[in-house]
Amino acid sequence: MNEQNIYIVRVGEVALKGMNKPYFEKTLVTRIRKNLSSIEGTTVSRHEGLIFVRTDKNIPADTIIRQVSRVFGVASISPAVECESDLDKIGETAVAFMLKQIEERGIKTFKVEAKRADKNFPVKSPDIARIIGAKVLIGCKVLKVDVHDPNCRLYVDLRDDRTYIFDEKIQGFGGLPLGTNGKGMVLLSGGIDSPVAAWMMAKRGMIIEAVHFHSYPYTSPRAQQKVEELAAIVAGYTGPMKIHIINLLPIQEQIVQNCPEEETTILVRRFMMRIAEKVAEKNRCMMLVTGEDLGQVASQTAEALVVTDACVTMPVMRPLIAMDKVDIMDMAKEIGTYDKSIEPYEDCCTVFLPKHPTTKPRLERIEESEAKLDVDALVDAAVRSEEIVRIDA
């Protein structure tokens, strides 16, 4: 059998799930396996609240860390070495590990942090740390102990018959495993906000589908391609995604011809929500998801959001609702969607924009305007125009 690299994967909130914990852990293991399925010679198993990934020695550590850390539910990952749970064996392994750190990183100081998960082991954690630290000092003459600000923290995790030694905990995104919290339909535009909203709901364990509206020929095919490319970035975290493409132009034209100009934005938004709800129901989604941020634009004032929600019965999730725009932009940069989002291709929301949109719409006035339109027929026609694009991770 080939030598293997070992990675310890720690769960986040999954550890707090009580009686449901095994279900969440099994789902997380399945997701990690799926993310690593293209890498031959890789196994994923769980034991005593941890998940262990084993790969062939020739697989670069960066590849495994990148793939695993993107799985929602993963709190951290550590490349590790293992040995028997015997103090002499642990000492030998720790010395070899630290000699490698001296060679590769030029470390000068260290601190040992020991954890004894096996309470039957006769030596307590502080004494394990002291004993292993002494062995490292003897075996690595250039090193000194620094308990306050060491170059290297040497972790010793002792479990039943095996002990794991590592020196870093690489943070994952945490959250909950995909598929543990239903399915939602996100209204996906080419802007900064909605891809972040989709990512945030997926982080809470929700499977995501998307509906995207276009106003061709007022919006270009390149604008739709941009949205598909944004979805592909998000799919790197969520797995394959369906986008339901809807032509909104006939509805916009009817609104412009028959309704007050200042109400155009809120009327269009209500139609988008109705259509999204129909598509969501057909695809067994539990709720709608939007990237709206309170007060950011005219259609996102408190009054406008209340009027918008009044046209649907499905719950509407707005994960960004109280965030500052700067924080949303920072999150977009972190997950990799920002540069694509700021590419200058207009979406349907920029078509027929009123000069002075109403910011405090009244529901009865909006419903009076909608009475001039055949709302049901327009919504049904839009749903029939649907095209489906499948996005792979």
The pLDDT score that the predictor gives to residue 216 is 84
Per-residue pLDDT, averaged over 285-306, amounts to: 93
Looking at the predicted structure, is the pLDDT value of residue 1 above 50?
A: no
Nearest-angstrom CA–CA distance, 190 and 188: 7
What is the band of 64 on the pLDDT scale with cuts at 50, 70, 90?
very high
Looking at the predicted structure, is the pLDDT value of residue 54 above 70?
A: yes
Of the candidates 216, 184, 187, the residue with the CA atom closest to the CA atom of residue 203: 184
The pLDDT score that the predictor gives to residue 15 is 61
50 labelled binding-site residue: no
Q: Does 220 or 230 have the greater pLDDT score?
A: 230
pLDDT tens-digit readout, 238-264: 989 999 999 999 999 999 999 999 999
Nearest-angstrom CA–CA distance, 37 and 251: 44
Position of tokens 């028997």?
A: 84
187 labelled binding-site residue: yes
Nearest-angstrom CA–CA distance, 205 and 77: 19
> Which tokens belong to 347?
């979406």
Looking at the predicted structure, is the pLDDT value of residue 332 above 80?
A: yes
Return the half-sphere exposure (C-beta side, CA atoms, 13 A cut-off) of residue 371.
Answer: 6
Position of tokens 């209340």?
A: 306
Into which CATH architecture does domain 4-171 fall?
2-Layer Sandwich (3.30)
In whole numbers, what is the pLDDT of the chain averaged over residues?
93
What is the band of 351 on the pLDDT scale with cuts at 50, 70, 90?
low
The pLDDT score that the predictor gives to residue 17 is 67
The pLDDT score that the predictor gives to residue 56 is 92
Q: CATH number of the domain at 183-391, please?
A: 3.40.50.620
> Which tokens belong to 191?
């802007």
What is the band of 21 on the pLDDT scale with cuts at 50, 70, 90?
confident
Return the half-sphere exposure (C-beta side, CA atoms, 13 A cut-off) of residue 69.
Answer: 15
The pLDDT score that the predictor gives to residue 13 is 78
22 cis-preceded (ω within 30 degrees of 0) = no
213 labelled binding-site residue: yes
Residue 39, judged by CB atoms within 10 A of its CB (0-12, 13-18, 19+), counts as middle
Pinpoint the residues of the chain covered by CATH 3.40.50.620: 183-391
pLDDT above 90: percentage of residues in the chain: 82
Looking at the predicted structure, is the pLDDT value of residue 196 above 60?
A: yes
Count CB-CB contacts under 10 A for residue 21. 14
Pinpoint the residues of the chain covered by CATH 3.30.2130.30: 4-171
CB 177 within 8 A of CB 31: yes
Nearest-angstrom CA–CA distance, 375 and 366: 12
The pLDDT score that the predictor gives to residue 348 is 63
Per-residue pLDDT, averaged over 276-297, amounts to: 96
The pLDDT score that the predictor gives to residue 110 is 97
Per-residue pLDDT, averaged over 109-132, amounts to: 95
87 labelled binding-site residue: no
> Which tokens belong to 373?
């339109």
212 labelled binding-site residue: yes
269 labelled binding-site residue: yes
Looking at the predicted structure, is the pLDDT value of residue 356 above 90?
A: no
